[in-house]
Amino acid sequence: MKHILPIITLTTLAAAASAQAASGLSYNQVNVTRSSQDNAVSAQFQIGGNLLLSAAVSGQNNWPASSEPTLGVAYVFKNVAFATDVAVGIQQGQWERSAYTIAARRALGEILPGLEAGISYADTYSTGNDTYIFLAGASSWAESAWSYELAYGVTKQIQVTVARVDFKAQPAQTVVGLRYNF
C-alpha cells in the first residue's frame, strides 16, 4: 500500500515522456541553410523506422560552382533518456576520410510548443588529418566539430533553425536555416 503512490507517479511520468517522444521529432526533412561561410541544401530520410540516409551540398559564396557533396547514414535510438533521441552514424564528404557522428535531439514542448534542441559531434579519429565535415548546415575541413542547434516549428511542417558550429582549428560558424518536415 505504501508503494502505490510512487508507482503511479513513475507510471504517469513514463507515459508522459513516451507521449512526448512520440509527438515530436521528424527525421524526414529538407533544409536550406546559410552561414557566414556557406550556403547549403540538405535532406535526410528515415527508412524502416530507425535508419537515416542523408545528403548535403554546400559551397561558399560562388555556390553552386564550388559545391561539395556529403553523404551519410545513421541509426537512431529513440527515447534513450528523458525523451531524447540519439543518432550514431558516419558521413563521407569529398571522397576523403569518413567522419563518425553522434547527435542528440529532443523536443522541448514543455518549455515552448514547437521548440526542439540538438547537439552533434563529428570526428575523423585520425589525429592531424582533416576531412570534410558537414554539421547543422555548416561545413569545413576539420579533424572534429561540435554543433548546437535550436529549432522552432512555425507550423507542423516548417521550422526555423539557428545553430552554432565549432570546427576544431577553424573559425566557428553561426547558421540560420529553414527546414521542411514531411
pLDDT of 55 above 70: yes
**84-93 and 68-81: which strand pairing?**
antiparallel
What percent of the chain shows pLDDT beyond 90?
Answer: 58
From the list 115, 90, 91, 120, the residue with the least C-alpha distance to 104 is 120
From the list 109, 86, 120, the residue with the least C-alpha distance to 156 is 109
pLDDT in tens, 86-117: 999 999 977 678 999 999 999 999 999 999 99
Q: In the prediction, which pLDDT does 141 show?
A: 84
- Measured torsion, CA atoms of residues 160, 162, 167, 171, in degrees rounded to the nearest 10: 120
pLDDT in tens, 118-137: 999 999 887 667 788 889 99
Report yes or no on whether pTM surpasses 0.95: no
